[in-house]
Each structure stands twice: as structure tokens, then as C-alpha cells.
Structure 1
Amino acid sequence: MRRYGHGLVPGSFHPPHAGHHHLVRTARDRCERLTVLVHGSTTDTLPLEDRVAWMREIHPDVLVVGGEEYAGPERVDAVFTSEPHADDLGRRLGAETVHVDRVHPFSDTAVREDPAAFWDFLEPPVRSALTRRVVVLGAESTGTTTMAHALADHYRRRGGVWARTRCVPEYASAFGALEPTPRSSDFPVIAQRQAELEEEAARDGSPVLFCDTDAFAATIWHERYTGTTSPATGEIAAHGRQHLWLLTDHRGVASEYAEGTVPPYGEQLRPWMTARFLTQLARTGRRTAVLTGPHEERLAAAVAAVDALLAEGPHLTDTPSERR
């Protein structure tokens, strides 16, 4: 089998999947050096810089660059492709076109139309980007943890790829910062670690992820305990990648405070916290569903809201280069 000095693998990788990775690895095995050219434009659903970063993580032994045309200083000896009629680029570069047989019988369009159906053919950074992230939040003793776990259990029962549905625990409980009075400086630490745990779970779970609180919720808890805002915590929340917030109403839920764990005015603060969550969720444009009534009604409403989110999908579209 012929070997080449410098090979090129062009493509949009929108999103990258197992078929693309087979192509890249095949080309890498046959070249001394390999460049992967990721096509992109401002109208792409998945940003070019993200796709370049994903390909660099998945293929650390090749050079990955972004752009519409190859502009490198080194001559290209071979262009590798799985497209049956993609010989033009090779001719323009004065390179040989090497056709690599597809090992996965699905199209890029099929992956975009239903990523969940091809979830096992996506690598961790891509799964993380496409996972629909749902946050359960609310005032003290309003059933947030119970609801987050109930939702994860509900979707696991679907089986298949959904059996890997994860629930991210509340890091503050393990941190111990909320017992009894946290310091202002604790909140950015809690928010950052919560975000890290969420990212780890999104890379390893199903197409939906449930989070028992998030960095945004930490901004409200900071207000609740200190009476002031936390710019550092707010900055972490601003970079969140969540899609839906489920707010557990305090009404109809009895408080269950352990003695000495909260100030005596904690019960009076529950209505304030619910109202504050609602105000800030609306102000920041976060998609929200309020859960009221007994647990069964709350769970049914939550599942309906999550199903609606999942039905919309990630809205991936063909890239301009693929429509040509």
C-alpha cells in the first residue's frame, strides 16, 4: 500500500462522527504528516472553532486547521476522501486523490437530523456539545434533588442510549459551604466545580443530562446568604450551556430544616427565593418551567417540558459547503 509524505483530509465535520474519524485515522496511517482541514462559515450551526477544537482533541497526532481552502506552505501529496466524486481538490492541489471506503452506512445529514440515534458514533466532546442540559433548582426543601433523580430514572427506563442518563449532584452539599453559613468567596469555587461536574457528565451520558442546581442557581444562593451579588459567580454562570430550568415551587412543600442548619428566618426566605429565581430566570431569558402541586404532578409537568425540548433537537443544519 502506497505511503505519502503529506496528506490532507478536508471536510465540514458538522458534527464529526465515527465515519470521519475512520477516514482521518486511515489517512494518518498512510502519511508521514497529515493535515485535517475543517471547512466553516459564519452561518454554521456548530461554530468552526468548536469543530476544530473537537478534532484536535480526538486526533492529537495530526494538524487540524480551519478554513475554506488549504493555505499551508507544504505541498499536499494526497487528498483523502470518502466521497465518490470528490476529485476536484486533489487536481487543484496537484495531489493524488485517495478514496477511503466508508465503514459506517449513514450520512452526515442523518446524524444532524437525529443525533440521539447515532449517539454511540459521537466522541465525548461532541456529545457534550449536543447534550440537552436540564437544571432543577429552587428554594430550600422544595424537592430539587428528589426531582432531578426522578427525572434521570424516568429517562433511563427508555433503555438503549437513554439508559446512560446522568444526574449531576449538588456540589455545595459535598463542599459543606452551606452548613451553616458560607463565605462569599466559597460561591465561585462551588459554581466552578458544579460546572466541571456537569461537563464531565455530559461527555459520558445520554442525549439529556439532569443537574441538581447549577452556577446560575449559585448566584441566587449567594444573594440569599450574603445579601449581595457575586460578579465572579455570575461570570461562571454566563458561560453555562444549559437549555431548560425547572423551578420547584415552595408552595405545598413542607420545609424540613435540621436544627441549626439554617438561620431561623429561613422559612420566611423561601417565598423570596422562589420569586427571585423567577425574576432572574426571566431577566436572563432562560427557558423555564415552574413545577407545582404534589410530586406526581410536578414530575409529569417536568417530563412534558423535557420532552418538548428534546423534540426540538439541537437544530443542526447543512453547511454551505455541503449544499454546494
Structure 2
Amino acid sequence: MTTRGFLLGKFLPPHTGHVFMCNMAAAMCDELTVLVCSLDSDPIEGSLRYQWMKQLLPHVRVIHHTKNVPQTPEEHPDFWAIWQRICKEAHPEHLDYVFGSEPYVVELAKVLDARPKLIDPERLAFPTSARIILRDPAGNWDMIPDAVRPYFQRRVVLAGAESTGKSTLAAELASALNTRFVPEYGRIFDAYRTEDWQSSSFTEIELGHRAMRQAIAPSAGPILIEDTDELVTRVWQSALTGTMPARARPSDLADLYLLLPTDLPWQDDGTRYQQADKFREAFQQSMKHELIEAGVAWRAISGTGPARLRNAMEAIEQAFAQGTDDEARKTASR
């Protein structure tokens, strides 16, 4: 006989304890249904949490409930009858078990004519909660599943003309912050391109960089470093074709941009274009203009060697310690 289990939660956000609980429940029955419950007022959109849970539990039936309903018995005299109806609509078949880590599981199982199965109510296996994650994502990074991490990540992009040390600093920052960095996809594209630069070339570079970022982000730390991005690529298109792209700027721009100056000597690595100082400086001015027009937070980083790394680290710490990007915009070097 097939045994059926049921588990519901807000998963606001999903954490490793949730995944453990769902996987354990799935191992204790033949068919498990997980109901993701969301309200319009939730700080993280319900549809996003639903997609996360589907991604985290590919072997489980995941359903999304979106109606605004009472959350505690004190809110409505028919609280349990309301939730009985919700659960039966989501799972019309007879249920054998109701799983969860909270005491309400006992009463919910009773109204659904099922057996309650509490899983690690003291949270010994994974000592965390959604509230703890929301309060300090970076401090509880190991409790956030890979699929959820990009939502909480802060992105730092290195911008600047050729031969300003972006690639070197990206690797140094990633090491210092115990994270990963996204290499410049445009360099890869340029090394193997077979035609002259055109608008479609830069669209392809932007798509490639975005795909690389999406592939790297889940395994990175709370801060993701990027060697250029789509915004910087727009300036490169203007520099190499003479025309700024007509396409709109990306909506998901980075949290902080670090603009590296042209105070390092130009070095030809086989992919360089702008040896003359006037071209590098023109690029810098265009980059500054684009950063200002985009309304993003940015800092100009100076220094060489260890001093440059130290200045970049200080800029990151100051920007993110403020909890807002507004101050970073106000104090950015012009």
C-alpha cells in the first residue's frame, strides 16, 4: 500500500534544516507533498520560494498556496477548519502522515486524520531558523542552500580601462574574502572571435558573462567578485565601435563598482587595444559617466600592490557596513 505524507511551511527562506526535514520525510513515506505557503506581505516573494523548493526537492511534489489566510489560531475561530480545507485542496487523497518540526503538526494531523511525525523539533542536526538567516545571511552562509545563496549575495564589480589590474585584483579579493570571482568573459570571446566587432558581439558577451555568473554564484561566498560585467561591457562597445548600445541597461546591476585608475603601466598580453594613454583615459571618463548615469554605488580605488588590495577591501567593508548604497553614491570619487 502506498503511504502518503504532507509537510507545509513558509520556507522564508529555505535553509539546510528545511531540506533535511523534507528529505527525511520523503524517506519515511512513498509519496511526499510539500506545500509552500506565502502571503502578499512576505519579505521574499512566494513564487521565488516555491521555485527554490522545487529546485531543492526534485523528487518531491511541491505546491504553492498564495491566499492570505490566518497564520495562528488566535487570528480566527475557524483556524483549523480553514487549514484543513487548504490541505485537502492541495492533497485530496488520504494522508498517512503529517511531517514538521513545530508543535502545530500534532493538531494539523488530527484534523487531517493522519499521524503526526515530528522531525528534529529542537533543531539539533541543523541549528538554525529562517529568522536567523534573514537577520544575518552572511554569518550563517553554510546554512543557506546553494540555490538560495545568489539572492543574498552582494556583488562587487571591478571596472576600468585595459591593464588597470582588474584580473589580478579580482583573484586577490576572492582569496581575501574566501569567495570566488567571475572572470572577464569578453577576453575569452575576443580570443576566439572570427569576425569584426559588431553590436551582436557585445550582446553575446553580456549573455556569456551572465551565464558564467549564474554558474559560479551558488558556490561563492556572501560577496561575489566580478571582473567586469554587463555595464562595463556597454562602455567597451562604445570604445570599440564608437556607438553606445541602444539596448537598456540590465536591471540587476551590482551592489558596488570599484573603478581602477590608469596608474599602472600598460602591458600587452596579446588582447589589448588601448595602448595610448589618451584612449585609456577616454575609457575611464566614459566609465565614470556610465556609473553615474546608472545610479550605482561606486568607489575609485588607487594604490599598487598590497595597498590597492587594502583600499579595495576597505571600500567593500565601508559600503556594505552602511546597509545601503545611497551613502556610497554620495561619497564616490568624481
Question: What TM-score do the two structures reach when normalised by structure 2?
Answer: 0.78
The answer to whether 1:80 aligns with 2:90 is no
Deviation at 1:313, TM superposition (A): 7.0
Residue in structure 2 matched with residue 169 of structure 1 by the alignment: 183
Q: Deviations over 1:177-219 (max 9, x none)?
A: 6989633221111111111211222111222221111111111
1:297-308 equivalent positions in 2, closer than 5 A: 297-308=307-318
Contact 1:7 1:76 in 2 (8 A): no
The count of aligned residue pairs is: 299
Deviation at 1:275, TM superposition (A): 2.0
2:29 alignment partner AA: C
Specify the SS of the correspondent of 2:257.
Answer: strand
Separation (CA, whole Å) in 2 of partners of 1:199 and 1:178: 22
1:229-240 equivalent positions in 2, closer than 5 A: 229-231=244-246, 234=248, 237-240=250-253
Residue in structure 2 matched with residue 109 of structure 1 by the alignment: 131
Separation (CA, whole Å) in 1 of partners of 2:293 and 2:112: 53
Separation (CA, whole Å) in 2 of partners of 1:178 and 1:295: 31
Larger RCO (CA under 8 A, 6+ residues apart): 1
Q: CA 1:263 to 1:106, structure 2 compared with 1: closer, same or farther past 3 Å? A: closer
The answer to whether 1:207 aligns with 2:222 is yes
2:224 alignment partner AA: L
Separation (CA, whole Å) in 1 of partners of 2:156 and 2:99: 40
Deviation at 1:137, TM superposition (A): 0.9
1:37-116 equivalent positions in 2, closer than 5 A: 37-68=35-66, 69-70=86-87, 71-72=89-90, 74-75=92-93, 77=95, 78-101=97-120, 102=123, 103-116=125-138
Q: Deviations over 1:217-274 (max 9, x none)?
A: 1111111111223345x46x3345x321111123x3333346894267x532322222
Contact 1:177 1:183 in 2 (8 A): no
CA RMSD after TM alignment: 2.9
Q: CA 1:95 to 1:313, structure 2 compared with 1: closer, same or farther past 3 Å? A: farther
List gaps (5 residues or longer) in structure 1: 156-161, 315-324
Deviation at 1:20, TM superposition (A): 0.7
Identity of aligned residues (%): 30
Separation (CA, whole Å) in 2 of partners of 1:42 and 1:145: 43
Instruction: Choose from 108, 122, 126 the match for 2:144.
Output: 122
Residue in structure 2 matched with residue 24 of structure 1 by the alignment: 22
Separation (CA, whole Å) in 1 of partners of 2:31 and 2:204: 42
Deviation at 1:295, TM superposition (A): 4.4
Contact 1:87 1:97 in 2 (8 A): yes
Separation (CA, whole Å) in 1 of partners of 2:301 and 2:196: 28
1:289 alignment partner AA: R
Q: CA 1:261 to 1:201, structure 2 compared with 1: closer, same or farther past 3 Å? A: closer
Contact 2:209 2:229 in 1 (8 A): yes
Contact 1:90 1:96 in 2 (8 A): yes
Q: Deviations over 1:258-302 (max 9, x none)?
A: 6894267x5323222222222222222211111134444432231
Separation (CA, whole Å) in 2 of partners of 1:95 and 1:313: 46
Q: CA 1:173 to 1:212, structure 2 compared with 1: closer, same or farther past 3 Å? A: same
Q: CA 1:177 to 1:45, structure 2 compared with 1: closer, same or farther past 3 Å? A: farther
Separation (CA, whole Å) in 1 of partners of 2:3 and 2:271: 71
Residue in structure 2 matched with residue 319 of structure 1 by the alignment: none
List gaps (5 residues or longer) in structure 2: 67-85, 325-334
Residue in structure 2 matched with residue 321 of structure 1 by the alignment: none
Specify the SS of the correspondent of 1:37.
Answer: strand
**Structure whose CA Rg is larger:** 2
Deviation at 1:59, TM superposition (A): 0.5
Residue in structure 1 matched with residue 78 of structure 2 by the alignment: none
Specify the SS of the correspondent of 1:153.
Answer: helix
Instruction: Choose from 138, 151, 162 the match for 1:140.
Output: 162
Separation (CA, whole Å) in 1 of partners of 2:91 and 2:205: 47
2:214 alignment partner AA: E
Contact 2:187 2:271 in 1 (8 A): no
Separation (CA, whole Å) in 2 of partners of 1:188 and 1:83: 49
Contact 2:99 2:105 in 1 (8 A): no
